[in-house]
């Protein structure tokens, strides 16, 4: 309201850069940032929440959500049924001393001992189209490894992704990179 009034009075408006969890998380996440939709916090009402989850499922752009620690596991379980095949990043405590990122598919993340504390940004990568999956099958293991490395994934995460993409045993992929 104040900004609109200032503009109307021809007063120049200048923003001062500061921490913004959704943008900070997006920049450091490694997910597609060309286009995204921000949903904020999911509604608590079950009916409205289900509608939002269905919207997220249909969304072709990357999706960003906020979540409180005491609701994180519930939200991840709700998302599991709608976007399990997409890459997800949990960005925790952004711009603070304990800032951290957890990357993977929802089912992989739910298998971890999360012990949620702090504020979370949930970043969901855009839907992969079949061409991207086919392209991965046409590149070498080393090229695929480098692709994920550039996106900021750890060695363990990369090996899991490669194994999943190629429907291979994770240990075989690990052994391949050990022998190099």
- The CATH number of whichever domain residue 55 belongs to comes to 3.30.950.10
Distance CA 170, CA 179 (A): 14
Quote the domain boundaries for residue 174. Answer: 131-178
Q: 5 in a domain, yes or no?
A: no
- pLDDT one-digit tens code per residue, 64-112: 999 999 999 999 999 998 887 788 999 998 877 788 889 888 888 998 8
Q: In this structure, are 58 and 36 located in the same domain?
A: yes
Q: In this structure, are 113 and 156 located in the same domain?
A: no
DSSP assignment of 89-123, as one string? Answer: EEEESTTSTT-EEEEE-HHHHHTS-----S-EEEE
Which among 30, 35, 34 is positioned nearest to 151, based on CA atoms? 30
Looking at 84, 110, 127, which one is the last position of a domain? 127
Residues 32-41, mean pLDDT to the nearest whole number: 92
Both tokens of 157, joined, read 């995460």
Both tokens of 144, joined, read 């695929």
- pLDDT one-digit tens code per residue, 111-140: 888 888 888 999 999 987 545 555 666 788
């Amino acid at each position: 309201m104040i900004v609109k009034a200032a503009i109307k009075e021809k007063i120049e408006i200048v923003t001062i850069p500061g921490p913004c969890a959704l943008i900070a998380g997006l920049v450091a996440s490694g997910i597609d940032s060309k286009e995204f939709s921000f949903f904020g916090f999911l509604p608590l009402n079950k009916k409205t929440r289900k509608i939002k989850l269905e919207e997220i499922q249909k969304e072709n752009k990357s999706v960003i959500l906020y979540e409180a620690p005491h609701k994180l596991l519930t939200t991840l379980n709700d998302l599991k049924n709608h976007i399990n095949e997409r890459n997800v990043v949990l960005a925790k405590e952004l711009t603070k001393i304990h800032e951290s990122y957890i990357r993977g598919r929802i089912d992989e993340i739910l298998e971890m001992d999360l012990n949620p504390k702090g504020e979370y940004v949930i970043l969901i990568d855009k839907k992969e189209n079949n061409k991207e999956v086919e392209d991965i099958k046409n590149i070498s293991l080393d090229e695929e490894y480098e692709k994920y490395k550039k996106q900021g994934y750890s060695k363990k995460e990369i090996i899991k992704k490669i194994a999943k993409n190629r429907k291979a045993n994770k240990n075989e992929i690990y052994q391949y990179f050990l022998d190099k």
